[in-house]
Structure 1
Amino acid sequence: MTDIDAVRLDKLDKLDERSWQQRYQRSLMGVFGDPQELLVTGRGAWVSDSQGRQLLDMLGGIAVNALGHAHPRIVEALTQQAQTLGHVSNLFTSVPQMRLAEMLLNAAEAPEGSTVFFANSGSEANEAALKAVLRHREATGKSRILALENGFHGRTLGALSLTHKPAFRDPFGDLIGGIEFLAPNDTAALEAAFEDDDVAGLFCEPIQGEAGVQPLDDAYLARARELTRSHDALLVFDEVQTGIGRTGQWFRFQGVDADVTPDLMTLAKGLGSGVPIGALLAFGQTASTLLGAGQHGTTFGGNPLAALAGQTTLETIQSEGLLENARRVGAHIASALAGVEAVAEVRQYGLHIGIDLDPSSSSAASPAKSLVTIARENHHMIINATGDHTLRLAPPLNLTTDEADIFLARFTAALKDLPR
């Protein structure tokens, strides 16, 4: 092989008789299993696939596409930024990086002395948060870190150590030690865990997304804040899914009926409207100095392109009134679903919606997973199953009421296709 055409464009650019499934299996590592479809283009809440079908996207790239697909403001911003600075490394900074940090701190109503660390994903943001807690553990001599059962914080080593599901953890043997799991919303267990005053930090999602949009009670979160504060432990909120307007507030903790402002908060997913970016917010001077110079870093963190995507996302959510839209359209969907016979329960926080199917509504072993396929193939929409009977919706925050009604009509039709 010569370097004249080392990537073999001569073959790649010719019509390939293999299917896209064969191409994927031949060239990509199988960690995700087989893809459901090959998506080609998107606009707003709609995508087209390899068969030319128009699919209503009610998953939004798993809560990532906050503004939908190909939002003109994102396209324009990225085009302009790519013509100036694409990447500068962490030896320098850029205006988009600083401006996005300031916007996040303002939206979070963070106190003076608060700071932001930019990463590339939610897992990496949680890695940074864990390293900050480990620094606090070393400084205080406290040995234990708490996380919650059914929680999900990512797949990297540290984030996986905080993730409860054995199927994710067991293949990799021993992970980071000193991490214990508590049952969510069990206040007595939480209080018991703090009795020996040996807890360095508590990690939790205010709403557990991978568990099927399962919320932590306001009273539980308030007690968690009281206990961590009184025992010199750090409270860490993973708002990777719930942040950036997903629940109808900028951040879920702001919708709790108590002041539960955390010490650390992680973000990603919707922050970049499809451009990879994560962030760790440290609230106050003490939390902001847990990681010193050289103790953490990333080459791509705060990349000008990603930072401008984040900045544009926040500006657009604010200017287009998408927090209120998420609350209004989400409530419209939940109200309609509550009247559907096959639906046992709906949990709705803005456009973060969990749906439990009545087990008696279908003879399928996993009706939710069957419904995902039926919905896509027969009714041209994308939904997501997080369990045998549980579905998750996380559509774009600018989903319209008309599009919500299209979803509701297609969803109820899809339910009738389940085996009885």
Structure 2
Amino acid sequence: MTVTSPGTPRHRAPGTDDALPLPAADGSVAQWTARYTHAVMDTFGPPQRVLVRGEGPYVWDADGVRYLDLLGGIAVNSLGHAHPTLTAAISAQLGTLGHISNFFASPTQIALAERLLAIADAPEGSRVFLTSSGTEATEAALKLTRRHSAGARPRVLALEGAFHGRSMGALSLTHKQAYREPFEPLPPGVEFLPFGDADALRAAFAHGGDEVAALVVEPIQGEAGVRPLPPGYLALARELTTAHGALLVLDEVQTGMGRTGRWFAHQHPHIGGGVRPDVVTVAKGLGAGFPVGAAIAYGPQAAELLGRGQHGTTFGGNPVAAAAALATIGVIERDGLLDHVTGLGERLRERLRSTGNPLVREVRGEGLLVAVELDRPVAARVAADALAAGFIVNPCTPTTLRLAPPFVLTDDQVQPFVDLVAALPADLAPEETA
């Protein structure tokens, strides 16, 4: 299918003589890193590399070195880098209408909301709140829970190992103490339950269940090491939240938009068991690199919780972001990428398991969200060595390598990484970690 922007531009796009140049890419990685340390806040530490361009699943740094991007901007670049359909859609929309305030609407905004409701299989009366990021989508979902029962339900349940974002509201749902402690006190009322523990979930509702506003969970925890919820957990969650009048909120910021081979991870029968949530949050892969997110509220009971003036966002739903998301959905459908993600993910996990390297304890995941679990805490060292060899992966825990590559990756392109894993020293010692 061809993705085009609605409407016809009134003016031609500026010619090259009118274009301002991008910052010059000359200079080494070391030179750019030195400039970074003097200009950018030190919230991420020194950059591992300074990247200057990308194509498909590959990126190049300022020294001209090529890397296979097996992290995809942390599950963002679903179409790889510089995808022609995506770049054309963004350029066409920006050349027609770039930004408007939320006093107005655009055809792309409305069309995107309709498409999200369709792929989410949302019932009549459902609505979408468009945002610029996953954290913003989480904030919208958290506000929905506060509005549920007019604030008479003070409890919000989340899971140990959860990551839902870094803003104050989203951080209150995020479990890792190192993220939380510098900013406490956080918004109150959040209780963390043991991950995947059905008995703990039952107990949380057995005592004060009618005071629970919502249960917020990731179908597969990404930051905690690509940990899928056990089969039956979401079905039990749906049963308990329904019985006690609480909302079931699924964070699909990382797992949504085809990452697992379905539009949403909870649509897999072995993960979701056919449940219909009340709210689903998405972002990351939704725009394939362009900042866009959404909170999808299922049915009028959830969709009507936020009234006029009770929430807002400057850039959420802007025409360019909406065009990027529509293009992303269109390419995934046109090129059969859901099936490709399923097949390639299965083959990749099997190849990694079959390396026979005793350092690899387990390979798990769904689609192209994959974890390589090592038998000792050497993930940071392995990731550093992989980078030096031309592969970008993420040590999301001391023992876990996370892969979330572009959907356009091929078997041949990923095989050299499998070979690298097979050749990892089986006696790599923990004290050698970076």
Any conservation in 2 of the 1:374–1:414 contact (CA below 8 Å)?
no
Q: Residue 202 of structure 1 is aligned with which of 215, 239, 243?
A: 215
Query: CA 1:416 to 1:78, structure 2 compared with 1: closer, same or farther past 3 Å?
Result: farther
Q: Secondary structure at the match of 1:151?
A: coil
Measured in 2, the distance between the counterparts of 1:414 and 1:51 equals 26
Any conservation in 1 of the 2:286–2:292 contact (CA below 8 Å)?
yes
Q: Secondary structure at the match of 1:318?
A: helix
Aligned length, in residue pairs: 402
Measured in 2, the distance between the counterparts of 1:14 and 1:78 equals 23
Paired AA for residue 385 in structure 1: P
Any conservation in 1 of the 2:26–2:62 contact (CA below 8 Å)?
no
Measured in 2, the distance between the counterparts of 1:94 and 1:161 equals 34
Tell whether 2:307 aligns with 1:307: no
Aligned to 2:6: none
Shift of 1:355: 1.1
Any conservation in 1 of the 2:27–2:62 contact (CA below 8 Å)?
no
Tell whether 2:407 aligns with 1:390: no
Query: CA 1:117 to 1:14, structure 2 compared with 1: closer, same or farther past 3 Å?
Result: closer
Q: Secondary structure at the match of 2:43?
A: helix
Q: Secondary structure at the match of 2:223?
A: coil
Query: CA 1:224 to 1:332, structure 2 compared with 1: closer, same or farther past 3 Å?
Result: same
Aligned to 2:198: 187
TM-score, normalised on structure 1? 0.92
Measured in 1, the distance between the counterparts of 2:288 and 2:106 equals 20
Any conservation in 1 of the 2:297–2:303 contact (CA below 8 Å)?
yes
Query: CA 1:14 to 1:314, structure 2 compared with 1: closer, same or farther past 3 Å?
Result: closer
Q: Secondary structure at the match of 2:34?
A: helix
Tell whether 2:368 aligns with 1:346: no
Query: CA 1:14 to 1:242, structure 2 compared with 1: closer, same or farther past 3 Å?
Result: closer
Paired AA for residue 395 in structure 1: P
Write the mapping of 1:4-19 to structure 2, written as runs, cut at 5 A. Answer: 19=31
Aligned to 1:293: 308
Tell whether 2:153 aligns with 1:142: yes
Aligned to 2:280: 265
Q: Residue 333 of structure 2 is aligned with which of 300, 318, 322?
A: 318
Q: Secondary structure at the match of 1:188?
A: helix
Measured in 1, the distance between the counterparts of 2:215 and 2:24 equals 52
Shift of 1:137: 4.6
Deviations 1:248-279 (A, max 9, x none): 00001100342211100100000001000110
Of stretches 271-280 and 194-203 in structure 1, the one that deviates more from structure 2 is 194-203
Q: Secondary structure at the match of 1:181?
A: strand
Unaligned runs of 5+ in 2: 1-19
Tell whether 2:333 aligns with 1:335: no
Tell whether 2:245 aligns with 1:232: yes
Query: CA 1:355 to 1:13, structure 2 compared with 1: closer, same or farther past 3 Å?
Result: closer
Shift of 1:417: 9.7
Measured in 1, the distance between the counterparts of 2:190 and 2:337 equals 38
Any conservation in 1 of the 2:227–2:365 contact (CA below 8 Å)?
no
Paired AA for residue 91 in structure 1: F
Measured in 2, the distance between the counterparts of 1:415 and 1:305 equals 47
Measured in 2, the distance between the counterparts of 1:132 and 1:414 equals 47
TM-score, normalised on structure 2? 0.90
Of stretches 13-22 and 317-326 in structure 1, the one that deviates more from structure 2 is 13-22
Unaligned runs of 5+ in 1: 1-8, 360-365
Deviations 1:287-335 (A, max 9, x none): 1001000000001010111111000000100110111111111111110
Aligned to 2:9: none
Aligned to 1:403: 413
Measured in 2, the distance between the counterparts of 1:19 and 1:385 equals 26
Write the mapping of 1:104-123 to structure 2, written as runs, cut at 5 A. Answer: 104-123=116-135
Paired AA for residue 54 in structure 1: R
Shift of 1:167: 0.3
Aligned to 1:356: 373
Measured in 1, the distance between the counterparts of 2:198 and 2:82 equals 44
CA RMSD of aligned residues (A): 1.8
Aligned to 2:53: 41
Measured in 2, the distance between the counterparts of 1:74 and 1:417 equals 45
Query: CA 1:91 to 1:347, structure 2 compared with 1: closer, same or farther past 3 Å?
Result: same
